[in-house]
Amino acid sequence: MIFEAHPIENLVVNKSSYRFSTKEMDLLNKGLKYAISPKRTDKEDIVADVKTAIRGTDNGVKENIRKEVYKMLRESKNTNSNVDNEIKSEHATVKSLNEKPVHYIKADKGNTIVIMNKDDYDEKILDRLNNGNFKKIRSNRLKKSAMKVKKALKECKFLDFNIKNLTMSNPSVPTKNYLRKVSSSGR
């Protein structure tokens, strides 16, 4: 049984004052996790990655894999110009999206993308920070607190396992993000 991929329409809600082209909306409808193809692939990196991947295999298998990779790399010189043009077009579209003074934000529920003016987004964040349960601190006390926790765990006599499992190796200060609520109608 073969399934066809159908793009999901209307995953993007534009709350900004900017208009977007069809190409831009099509790309955004692919989702925030969509990765565009690189403009070019470094063949030396591919060879190095393959060598690393086949390091522990039998010599016969290694040789077959090397031949296949060489064949694919040789044939890749004759790539389809339509594919190249499509990749260039995607990169141009990403560039035009990045040039707009907007934020592309994941909605609080679902996979919807909300587009907001940067000024509106910044205003919402400042409003939440000023009116929320937050206070400004002068310095980052995280490192000092982490050291205290580690010391207390080391001094604790009844723990019979490694304290590294109870602490974070590289703690960081939390960040504040604003997830836009979208009504059930999607607008």
What confidence tens digit (pLDDT) does each residue in 16-60 have?
999 999 999 999 998 888 888 877 777 788 888 888 888 888 888
Q: Which range marks the domain in which residue 113 is found?
A: 12-118
Evaluate if pTM is beyond 0.85. no
In a domain, 151, yes or no: no
What integer pLDDT is reported at residue 182 of this predicted model? 61
In a domain, 86, yes or no: yes
In a domain, 47, yes or no: yes
In a domain, 125, yes or no: no
The residue among 134, 100, 106 whose CA lies nearest residue 119 is: 100
In a domain, 28, yes or no: yes
Q: Which residues of the chain have pLDDT under 70?
A: 1-9, 77-83, 159-161, 176-187
The residue among 74, 70, 76, 79 whose CA lies nearest residue 50 is: 70
In whole angstroms, what is the distance from residue 103 CA to residue 57 CA? Answer: 47
Number of independent structural domains in the chain: 1
Contacts 24+ apart (CB under 8 A), 73-79: 73/43, 73/46, 73/47, 76/41, 76/43
What integer pLDDT is reported at residue 6 of this predicted model? 53
- Token pair of 53 as six digits: 């991947």
In a domain, 165, yes or no: no
